[in-house]
Structure 1
Amino acid sequence: MTVPPPKDLSELAPSGTLSNVEFSVEGDVKTAKIKNPIKDERSLKPTVDDLTVSEPVTVDKIAEKLEIYGGAIVKNHLSEEIVDKMWDDISPHFKKRTWNGDFFPQETLRVTATVCKSKTVAEDFMCNPLFMELCARFIGKKNTFVIGDELTTAYSEPQHCSSTLLSIGPGAKDQPYHRDDIIHHNICQYREKYEYGHETAIACAIAHNKATKANGATRFVPGSHLWDHQRVPKPEEAVYAEIEKGDAFFMLASCFHGGSANTTKDEWRNMSFMFMTQGLLRQEINIFLETPLEYFQSLSVQALKSIGVAVSQPFCGWYRDLEDPLKVMKPESSNGSDDIENAFKLVV
């Protein structure tokens, strides 16, 4: 039996963006033109002080900054002891560049899947209570569903999407502006003000040393989380998230950003990133192929849930015969109930 070559089925997929683009090719030059761009000239230029959350820091205060700017700075988010322990755990994993392309400059070193290389990253960075509350607000999903003659409620908890330590070395060029939610095909819509329910991921970046405009501080475009999907950011619209060791920069994945050029002679910008996504979406990094089972078993129940070793309610992510992988790995986490929070008889 002869097996025919696979078909290109991509043309069958619906698209909400391709119809608004005109492509052309002349020799080796490929161009794309947005046919009907939305007129939007809004541009914000907050200072570092504008982005910084005042004491005492609360989830409400961080959320307010994110709603307006798409980014927020929290001073002393993690102690120096925790930040140093993360560095000690992760830095031995630095190795020569193994990726192709120019998305990351040649001078940038990185360690991926840090959540599986450091329990400190998993327990103290990813599971930081303030960060967890923020993730629940922006990317947690809770809904009701009809099953038979009952109405049930279910909560899909945010999960790890990717975790990376990036070290930008002298001579590195600007990283291209991008939105991190493109991995989930999130199509941003023009909005006058922020609306909850559309975000697919949120990030927290922790500085291991002082991050400055000169050594590669993350530059991002404030307000771009409210832009149309196809608006192109301009360099002059960006601001630099200059922070000290232990400070955090929180950012919505719908916000344009990129690492900056390192124009120093001998400084490295060292920063750990933690991206969390909706529990019902695919994770950016497949951490399960490279991580020993024993490592997962050594983590707390909450860390396992945040990593994604648990069912996303109501029925996503089962193991074997409808078993919750969390209860298989941590039997003590089972309370004997099923995984639907509540069921109510429907009155029609």
Structure 2
Amino acid sequence: MTVPPPKDLSETAPSSTLSNVELSVDGAIKTARIINPIKDERSLKPSVADLTVSEPVTADKISEKLEIYGGAIVKNFLSHEITDKIWSDISPHFKKRTWNGDFFPQQTTRVTSIVTKSKTVCEEYMCHPLYMEVAARFVGKKNTFIIGQDLTTAYSEPQHNSSTTLSIGPGATNQPFHRDDIIHHNIRKYREKYEYGYETAIACCLAHNKTTKANGATRFIPGSHLWDHQRIPQEDEVVYAEMEKGDAFFMLASCFHGGSANTTKDEYRNQSFLFMTQGHLRPEENIFIETPMEYFETLSVQALKSIGLAASQPYCGWFRDLEDPLHVVKPETLTGDDQFENTFKIVE
């Protein structure tokens, strides 16, 4: 048997976008032109007050803002005490790193995988009841499946996608506009109004100090979650997510956004970003390799589910012989009626 030489398998993969793009190279300059762009001139210009959820804050109110704008601000999402506790847990992990790209300015420092560095992040932030309910609406998945002669219903709850604390220092420049759902190759279609079921991730951003346009507040483009995949964002469409300490900015990953320039002399914009994704998708950040089992054992059952250390129904993310890894970390969760528990019985 003759084995053919290796080839670039990417050339065999289908594309949902490249068929509408013309690529060209002129010397060192590479350009791309959209062949048949969709005409869409919708531009929303809400104020920060328009984005802010009124009291009493509910998941319904947050969801309504997200449907319309793709973003929502919640005042006093976490108390100053909890916000400061998260900062004290995370800040010792800041290290000066050299970033050779242009996606993050040199003046931006960051700590990644903060769910593994602070139990407070897990229990008080990630598992906040409002965030859990909103995330369930946008990235939770519930479906029915035929298995043999039975109709089985399964719910895949949201899981941790990535968690980072960012500090933007004086002199930082604008971050390029981007959508965070590009990691899941999520292809956005032009829509007149929001439709549930197509979102792959949702973010919650916690302000550790006063966040302003001057010190680097997130540049967010309201309504861009309804745009076609290939519409290009412009600076004049921006709203700055300005917040006070303890406030939170909810944002769909399908929205264009980016950190903004810090034009101050001595202020830092300190914020913690926590993304949740669908339970059956690969998370952006791999938090399991470096995290000792002992840390996971200290977390609550809900935190373990949200962090992604539990099987997603019906059978995604199992361990060994179709065991739910949650039962390995927390044996007391074995109930006798779990679909994984009775699949295999190990005979001694």
User: What TM-score do the two structures reach when normalised by structure 2?
Assistant: 0.96
State the number of aligned residues. 340
Q: Which runs of 5+ in 1 are unaligned?
A: 341-348
For 1:240 and 1:276, locate their aligned partners in 2 and report how far apart those are by CA, in whole Å. 22
Q: Deviations over 1:120-152 (max 9, x none)?
A: 001101000000000000000000000011100
Change (3 A) 1:5 1:84: farther
**What RMSD, in angstroms, separates the aligned Cα atoms of the two structures?**
1.3
The Cα of 1:290 is off from its aligned counterpart by 1.1
Letter of the structure 1 residue corresponding to residue 44 of structure 2 = L
Letter in 2 for 1:283: P
Whole-angstrom distance in 2 between the partners of 1:56 and 1:240: 24
Partner in structure 1 of residue 106 of structure 2: 106
Residue aligned with 1:44, SS = coil
Q: Quote the offset at 1:97 in angstroms.
A: 1.5
**Which is further off, 97-106 or 293-302?**
97-106
Q: Map 1:184-199 onto structure 2 (within 5 A).
A: 184-199=184-199
**Alignment partners' CA distance in 2, 1:166 and 1:278:** 24
Matching of residue 91 in structure 1 with residue 115 in structure 2: no
How do 1:145-224 residues align onto structure 2 when only pairs under 5 Å count? 145-224=145-224
Counterpart of 1:30 in structure 2 is: 30
- Tell me, yes or no, if structure 1 residue 295 matches structure 2 residue 283: no
Q: CA deviation at 1:59?
A: 0.3
Q: Deviations over 1:55-76 (max 9, x none)?
A: 0000000000000000000000
Letter in structure 1 aligned against 2:292 = P
| Equivalent residue, structure 1, for 2:344 | none
* Gaps in structure 2 of 5+ consecutive residues: 341-348
Letter in 1 for 2:101: G
Q: 1:6: how far off?
A: 3.4
Secondary structure of 1:194 counterpart: coil
The Cα of 1:216 is off from its aligned counterpart by 0.1
Residue by residue over 1:293-323, the C-alpha shift from the partner in whole angstroms, topping out at 9 and shown as x without a partner, is 1001110000000000100000000100110
SS at match of 1:280: coil
- Quote how far apart the aligned CAs of 1:102 are: 1.1
Shift in alpha-carbon separation, 1:287–1:99, aligned structure 2, 3 A: farther
Cα distance in 2 between the residues matched to 1:236 and 1:127: 36
Equivalent position of 1:117 in the other structure: 117
**Corresponding residue for 1:48?**
48
Distance 2:162 2:339 in 1: 26
Deviations 1:195-248 (A, max 9, x none): 000000000000000000000000110000000000000100010000000000
Identical positions, percent: 79
Distance in 2 separating the partners of 1:320 and 1:99: 39
**Matching residue's letter, 2:289:** L
- Name the CA shift for 1:123/1:46 in 2 (closer, same or farther; >3 Å): same
Q: Which residue of 1 aligns with 2:74?
A: 74
Distance 1:230 1:111 in 2: 31
Does structure 1 residue 276 correspond to structure 2 residue 276? yes
Q: Distance in 2 between matches of 1:41 and 1:251?
A: 22
For 1:278 and 1:322, the matched residues in 2 are separated by 20
Q: 1:285/1:5 Cα in 2 relative to 1: closer, same or farther (>3 Å)?
A: farther
The one-letter amino acid of 1:218's match is T
**Contact 2:215–2:263, Cα closer than 8 Å, also in 1:** yes
Is 2:283 the counterpart of 1:319?
A: no
> Aligned partner of 2:269: which letter?
R
Matches of 1:208 and 1:315, distance apart in 2: 38
User: In structure 1, how many angstroms separate the alpha carbons of the residues matched to 2:171 and 2:337?
Assistant: 56
Letter in 2 for 1:169: G
Residues in 1 aligned to 2:176 and 2:4: alpha-carbon distance in whole angstroms: 40
Distance in 1 (CA, whole Å) between partners of 2:130 and 2:238 is: 27
Offset of 1:338 from its aligned partner?
Answer: 2.2
Paired amino acid for 1:207: A
Deviation (angstroms), 1:2 = 11
Give 3-state SS (helix, strand or coil) of 1:101's partner: coil
Task: Mark the CA change 1:153 to 1:214 in structure 2 (over 3 Å): closer, same or farther.
Answer: same
SS at match of 1:328: helix
Cα distance between partner residues in 2 of 1:48 and 1:71: 10
Q: What's the offset of the Cα at 1:5?
A: 5.7
In 2, Cα distance between the equivalents of 1:321 and 1:334?
Answer: 15
Letter in 2 for 1:307: I
> By how many angstroms is 1:335 displaced?
1.2
For 2:41, give the aligned amino acid: E
3-state SS in 1 of match to 2:64: helix
Which residue identity is paired with 2:296? F
1:242-292: CA deviation from partner (whole Å, max 9, x where unpaired): 000000000000000000000000000000000000000001110001111
Aligned position for 1:64: 64
Q: What stretches of structure 1 move > 3 A for 4+ residues in a row?
A: 1-6
Residue in 2 aligned with 1:345?
none
Q: CA deviation at 1:333?
A: 1.2
Aligned partner of residue 251 in structure 2, secondary structure:
strand
Matched residue SS, 1:166: strand
Q: What TM-score, normalized by structure 1, do the two folds share?
A: 0.96
